[in-house]
Amino acid sequence: MLGLAADRLRADMNRLLSFLFHQGILDEQFLQLQQLQDETSPNFVSEVVNIYFHESEKLLRNLRSLLVDREFSDYNKMGIHLNQFMGSSSSIGAKRIRNVCLAFRAASDQNNRAGCLSALEVLEHEYCFLKNKLHELFQIQQQRVLAAGVRYPMQH
């Protein structure tokens, strides 16, 4: 049973990845990140993604605090946060988040506060979703590592 764990985990991982790519949640940039992971930087992807989570939560919080302020008028300041969020999201391949950011930017360009607010909500939602999925992914990968460490007398 356990001997099949590695296969199943790999299948799980592939399925999750396929799902994420298929749904446009991730794009080729994420693949590029995976390719950058090698012996010299074995945890590259998870490191980058963790930094991304940390930074993004800060940025999202900033964006929200800016927008809920009644006297909000500084679209430029918001634009800076948004730009950074967009840059980092696209750098890890979070395609959908990046697209939402584009729409957010459009609303911001038009000084459309309500539009920005709704864009922010979608953004938060998307971010949460991505975070969950990436957690799953990392978790599966860890399980794979564990499973790979198990030695069985019979080869599959």
The interface with other proteins within residues 73-132 (CB under 8 A) comprises 74-77, 79-80, 83-84, 86-88, 90-93, 95-96, 99-100, 102-110, 112, 114-129, 131-132
Which CB, 6 or 104, lies closer to other proteins? 104
Sequence-ordered list of residues with C-beta below 8 angstroms from that of 16, at least 6 positions apart, any chain: 133, 136, 137, 140
Which CB, 124 or 154, lies closer to other proteins? 124
Which position among 64, 67, 72, 147 is part of the footprint of other proteins (CB under 8 A)? 64
Smallest gap from residue 3 Cβ to other proteins (A): 16
Sequence-ordered list of residues with C-beta below 8 angstroms from that of 38, at least 6 positions apart, any chain: 44
**32 phi-psi bin (left φ>0, alpha ψ -120 to 50, beta other):** alpha
Smallest gap from residue 156 Cβ to other proteins (A): 19
Q: Is 19 in the site for other proteins (CB under 8 A)?
A: yes
Judged by CB under 8 A, the number of residues near other proteins is: 88
Rounded distance, CA 42 to CA 40, Å? 6
Smallest gap from residue 141 Cβ to other proteins (A): 10
Within 24-43, the residues that bind other proteins by CB under 8 A are 24-25, 29, 32-33, 35-36, 41, 43
The secondary element (H helix, E strand) that includes residue 74 is: none
Amino acid at site 144: R
Identify the sign of the CA torsion 53, 54, 56, 58.
positive
